[in-house]
Structure 1
């Protein structure tokens, strides 16, 4: 009886490990970088949307380079989103209280992908928390729009350019 139980455990471990390895082989990342601008006239203390940023995905080429097609992609999620002050060089995130990032498409669908409710002081780069939302419909499409909502903690005297580096994790089916 113990031998049968041991054999079943070994088989289940092998199957679980094999599935993880297959998923790893069929998983790749898409990096996207955009610039978000917060203007010096931005209102203080109110969550306000910033100008939307249209993004051309070039997904069919990316999928082809990773030996898959859009119809085989089974899961896309935000793996990492880092914001870094790009300009002015001497600025940090002290002016920002909170921030949310959304993706939307031409069908009017919108999904919150990342946020940070309390932005730390004295830093030039922040990593947002992913909502782990399913983003297939945005990344598989030809375009999507990045929308940002932010709350400013204190006035800024000049426009601030922020580099948004997004990394999407893509997993495809083998067939």
Structure 2
């Protein structure tokens, strides 16, 4: 009977250690890009804003987190936030809706975040709803870019510069298993 309890305790300790090891292979990757929404001549018409290509530096980030590209199980976008940079005092109330798409060399462009109705009282920071798509191939690429598809509901006389902050959750295999 004592051997049975010791076996159960040993199994519990082993599984607990595996869970703790698994947590060591999970981490976030954060990126920040700038984009400019140009002054408009009309409202309620969709138009695209492109960010410059962003180097992922994924291999070095993976190495810092003791993993490699071939050990990545999944990468998911957990947060996408837009921050108004200029003009001073501007907010996002001019937006009606926004969608964000990701693209990388050799992969089809896909939607990763959106906000169907931007509130009238939107401040200078808005969080978008993120998709639950596995983006590992995009982030493992050397570079990716974002396209913002926006619809405004008021005229803008000046360009609006914003920062696009994204957080990706990375889950890698434990010790290559």
**CA–CA distance in 2 between the matches of 1:54 and 1:68?**
24
Match of 1:141 in 2: 141
Deviation digits for residues 100-151 of structure 1 (CA, Å, limit 9, x no counterpart): 1111011251111110001112311110001111100110010111111010
Match of 2:126 in 1: 126
Match of 1:161 in 2: 161
* Conserved? CA contact 2:33–2:51, under 8 Å: no
- Residue 28 of structure 2 is aligned to residue 29 of structure 1: yes
- Residue 146 of structure 2 is aligned to residue 152 of structure 1: no
Question: How do 1:34-113 and structure 2 match up within 5 A?
Answer: 34-41=33-40, 43-113=42-112
Deviation digits for residues 84-110 of structure 1 (CA, Å, limit 9, x no counterpart): 111112111110000011110112511
* Conserved? CA contact 2:78–2:167, under 8 Å: yes
Name the stretch that deviates more: 50-59 or 80-89: 50-59
Cα RMSD, aligned residues only: 2.2
Runs of 4+ in 1 over 4 A off after TM superposition: 17-20
Q: Unaligned 5+ residue runs, structure 2?
A: none
**CA–CA distance in 2 between the matches of 1:53 and 1:101?**
14
TM-score scaled by structure 1? 0.86
**CA–CA distance in 2 between the matches of 1:159 and 1:109?**
29
* Conserved? CA contact 1:53–1:147, under 8 Å: no
**CA–CA distance in 2 between the matches of 1:92 and 1:40?**
14
SS of the equivalent of 1:94 reads coil
Aligned residue pairs total 167
**CA–CA distance in 1 between the matches of 2:30 and 2:41?**
29
